[in-house]
Amino acid sequence: MEKVLLSSSPCHYFEAMNTPILIVDDEPDMCWAISHIIQSQGFNVITAYNGEDACFKLTHGDFSIVFLDAKLPDMDGLEVARRASTLLHERPRIVLVSGYHYHDDPVVRHAIVEGIICGFLAKPFTNKELLKTLHTLSQPIE
């Protein structure tokens, strides 16, 4: 089953291997697992445990990629992504990570078409799937 879903049309992004990656999930163990996979590739990682925290970090930090849980205690992941797309001039590439949605979920497809998120990763994922997503997104486009 295809679990990784990546947008074929590029999001606006700026190439920044050096900028940290934001991981948003209310489950600390989930952040721990994702952080480990990403850190193993030499990226820096910053975590946020809820939507407000994520929005604050997004507006005050400089992130190229965001792994974003779909269901946060205070707001939907997609709401965080929507705010990021309107608030930030330089939009990071956002991957929605969720156990709530499935890969061909109309909500997910719609968000990708809208350009609010760049990809979707279904929980539970293999470390390889996450790395594939990470590498695809960190490749410069054009």
Positions that interact with other proteins (CB under 8 A): 26-27, 29-30, 32-34, 36-37, 70-76, 98-100, 122-128, 130
Encoded amino acid at 136, one letter = T
CA 110 – CA 118 distance, rounded (Å): 11
CB closer to other proteins, 56 vs 102:
102
- Give the 3-state secondary structure of residue 80: helix
* Contact call for residues 104 and 128 (beta carbons, < 8 A): no
CA 21 – CA 16 distance, rounded (Å): 10
CA 65 – CA 130 distance, rounded (Å): 12
CA distances in angstroms from 140 to 4, 44, 47, 94, 124, listed in the order given:
19, 18, 24, 15, 28
**Least distance from C-beta 116 to other proteins, angstroms?**
18
CB closer to other proteins, 64 vs 98:
98
**Least distance from C-beta 73 to other proteins, angstroms?**
6
CB closer to other proteins, 8 vs 124:
124
**Least distance from C-beta 98 to other proteins, angstroms?**
7
**Least distance from C-beta 11 to other proteins, angstroms?**
24
**Least distance from C-beta 79 to other proteins, angstroms?**
9
CB closer to other proteins, 62 vs 76:
76
* Contact call for residues 141 and 10 (beta carbons, < 8 A): yes
CB closer to other proteins, 2 vs 142:
2
